[in-house]
Chains A and B, each alone.
Chain A
Amino acid sequence: MISKKFFTSSSLTYFVAFIPAYYLLYQFYFGLAWIDPIEEGLHGFGIWALRFLLLSLAVRPIVRLSHQPQWMRYRKIFGLASVFYLCCHIVIYVLYDQDLMWRTVVEELTTRFYLLIGLVAAIGLLSMASTSNQYSIARLGHNWQRLHQGVYFWASLVVLHFYLSVKADFLEPLIYAAILLWLLGLRGWWRMNPGS
């Protein structure tokens, strides 16, 4: 019998967090539903990276409002899931979209503002993911906090990257921008009013 513990375990959450990835990877490599797997895959992984990033930022407010401190661990799980989607997004861009033309990749990343922003955000998020283990937490001490508070800044860059990549229909990136602003505002409010 599956114990109750399993349903509240991290492994189940990881499994659930990767469900969109199973779907996206299946469609990307084998599915017939997509006409242009490169564009649809690139966009799909990018969007899910952003969604999990925002979800991870929403954990603290949810914990605070619900008084369920044990949910705090979902912040790391969602954050790591976000970085996994981000990595797929980057691999599809370099390997399939740009067809491994390194010179073009470097040229594009440095000359297109929205790509540069995406690259900076990716470096920031990867630096967080790579220091999410217990060893790094212990070793970095106070600096760990500072490094990981950068998440709001990286998230803003991610939303900006999305916004700047759109041709004319800005509704979707603006929705994500509104969610991020709301999360930021909530954090600011609690900082100024610690008692509330």
Chain B
Amino acid sequence: MALPKEYRIKEQEVTDHALYLRRREFIVGSMVFAVSAFTHNAAKGEQTKPDQLTPKRAVTSYNNFYEFGTDKRSPAKLAKDFKTEPWFVAVEGHCAKPGKYPLEDLVLSQQIEERIYRLRCVEAWSMVIPWKGFELGPLLKSFEPTADAKFVRFETLYDPVQMPGQKRKVLQWPYVEGLTIQEAMHPLTFIATGLYGEDLPNQNGAPLRLVVPWKYGFKSIKSIVRISFEKEMPRTSWNLSAPHEYGFYANVNPNVDHPRWSQATERRIGERGRRDTLMFNGYEQAVAGLYTDLDLTKWY
């Protein structure tokens, strides 16, 4: 299924590399601007700013992937030799076709497409990324989940030798994330196998990762090795780490702050200033229907 038109971010809006390299000019420019800044009112980030692709270099060298270290720069270095072949995904739980599937079998049966999505990190920065991959829904349906499959639980590889970040228990390993079955089947929910037209770099979650564009980035679990259909809500890694800060749903919501910082605005990487954070990261029309009966303040 093609992405509904209103969620497509156009290719023309790409920031060219030359402009990216000049990003410091914005900063230097803002020094001058600062002199007269006391008259500058407290206007929030402009709503009308167009979305532009975040440069590939930023997307591939600035990653939160704690399996390869908690510093955002370390995954690009430490994941260099990460082995993604052969790769198997175990499918378990309430479904008719459980099993251990080789990656090729999963990917080859899917219709590969490019999708440009906003990615909003819970840390209040964001990017716009051209992913390559396929919708999660049809893949899940091929495993024939039963009526008891209310949630889908995902697991990242656990391999402390290859993933040195797992040698310290910063989070509960293996990393676990989850979605309700409705969320997992939603046409916006995506499995990425590449970005910028190329195979997924290791530091971005090779060989396959989840992308849920209306949720904070930590929901989009990387390097998936296990998918299970469950009856109960799975306990997820960040939720276990700090339940009052990271909920199971983790929908992007400018009205519900992180206890330690505001979620009302965000910094788009490569851009000067801040911009308003949009409800459900701008995908409200498509996904708000999933949460009509949910108190989003309680179920953050």
Chain A contact residues, CB within 8 Å of chain B: 28-30, 32, 35-39, 95-104, 107-108, 112-114, 164-165, 167-169, 171
Contact between chains at B261 and A112 (CB < 8 Å): yes
Q: Which residues of A contact B242 (CB under 8 A)?
A: 167-168
Residue of B nearest to A100 (CB): B37
**When the two chains form the complex, which single residue of B30, B37, B62 contacts A35, counting CB atoms closer than 8 Å?**
B62
- Asked if residues B66 and A168 are in contact (CB atoms below 8 Å), the reply is yes
A164/B260 in contact, CB under 8 A: yes
Residue of B21, B30, B70, B241 ringed by the most chain A CB atoms within 10 A: B70
Cβ contact within 8 Å between B125 and A168:
no
Q: Is the Cβ of A100 less than 8 Å from the Cβ of B34? A: yes
Q: A96-B30, A97-B267, A99-B274 are in contact. Are A39 and B261 (CB under 8 A)?
A: no
Q: Which of A29, A103, A165 contacts B24 (CB 8 A)?
A: A29
Partner of B34, one of A28, A95, A108, A113: A95
Range for the number of chain B residues in contact with chain A: 35 or more
A72 → B minimal CB distance (Å): 36
Complex Cα spacing A157 to B114, Å: 48
CB distance from B53 to the nearest CB of A (A): 14
The chain B residues found within 8 Å of chain A, CB to CB, are 21, 24, 27-28, 30, 34, 37, 40, 42-45, 57-58, 61-62, 66, 70, 72-73, 123, 125, 168, 170-171, 238, 241-242, 260-262, 265, 267, 269, 272-274
Q: Are B42 and A101 interface neighbours, CB within 8 A? A: yes
Q: Check A168–B70 contact: CB distance below 8 A.
A: yes
Alpha-carbon distance between A29 and B27 when the two chains are bound, in angstroms: 7
B42 touching A104, Cβ below 8 Å: yes
Say whether A29 contacts B28, CB under 8 Å: yes
B24 close to A37 (CB less than 8 A)? yes
| 8 cross-chain CB contacts under 8 A | A29-B28, A95-B34, A95-B37, A97-B267, A100-B37, A165-B260, A168-B66, A169-B168
- Contacting residues, chain B, for A104 (C-beta < 8 A): 42, 44, 262, 265
Interface residues of A, dominant DSSP: helix
Give min CB distance, A190 to chain B, whole Å. 35
Q: Across the interface, do A100 and B40 meet the contact criterion of CB distance under 8 Å?
A: yes
Q: Which residues of the partner chain A approach B24 to less than 8 Å between Cβ atoms?
A: 29-30, 37
Q: Which residue of B lies closest to A28 (CB)?
A: B27
Chain A contacts for B171, CB-based, 8 A: 168
Q: Which residues of B contact A30 (CB under 8 A)?
A: 24
- Find out whether the CB atom of A103 lies under 8 angstroms from the CB atom of B42: yes
Closest residue of chain B to A97, judged by CB? B267
Residues in chain A near residue B262, CB distance under 8 A? 104, 107-108
**B contact residues around A112 at 8 Å (CB):** 260-261
Q: A35-B61, A101-B42, A108-B262 are in contact. Are A168 and B28 (CB under 8 A)?
A: no
Chain A residues positioned under 8 Å from B37 (CB to CB): 95, 100
From residue B169, how far is it (CB to closest CB) to chain A in Å?
A: 10
A35 in contact with B44 given A28-B27, A29-B28, A100-B37 (CB within 8 Å)? no
Residues of B within 8 A of A39 (CB): 72, 125
Give the distance in Å from the alpha carbon of A168 to the alpha carbon of B168 in the complex. Answer: 11
Q: Chain A residues near B273: list those with CB within 8 A.
A: 99
Which of B30, B269, B274 lies in contact with A95, CB distance below 8 A?
Answer: B30
CA distance A101 to B27 in the complex (A): 16
Residues of chain B contacted by A99 (CB below 8 angstroms): 45, 272-274
A165 to chain B, nearest CB (A): 7
Q: How far is the CB of B247 from chain A (nearest CB, A)?
A: 15
Contacts of B62 in A (CB 8 A): 35-36
Contact A168–B170 (Cβ < 8 Å): yes
Given A95-B34, A99-B274, A164-B260, CB of A35 within 8 Å of CB of B21? no
> A131 to chain B: closest CB distance in Å?
28
Q: Which residues of B contact A169 (CB under 8 A)?
A: 66, 70, 168, 170
- Considering the chains assembled together, what is the distance between the CA atoms of A158 and B94 in angstroms? 50
Contacts of A168 in B (CB 8 A): 66, 70, 170-171, 238, 241-242
Question: Within the complex, what minimum Cβ distance (angstroms) separates B192 from chain A?
Answer: 20
Whether the pair A35, B274 counts as a contact (CB closer than 8 A) is no
Q: Which residues of B contact A29 (CB under 8 A)?
A: 24, 27-28
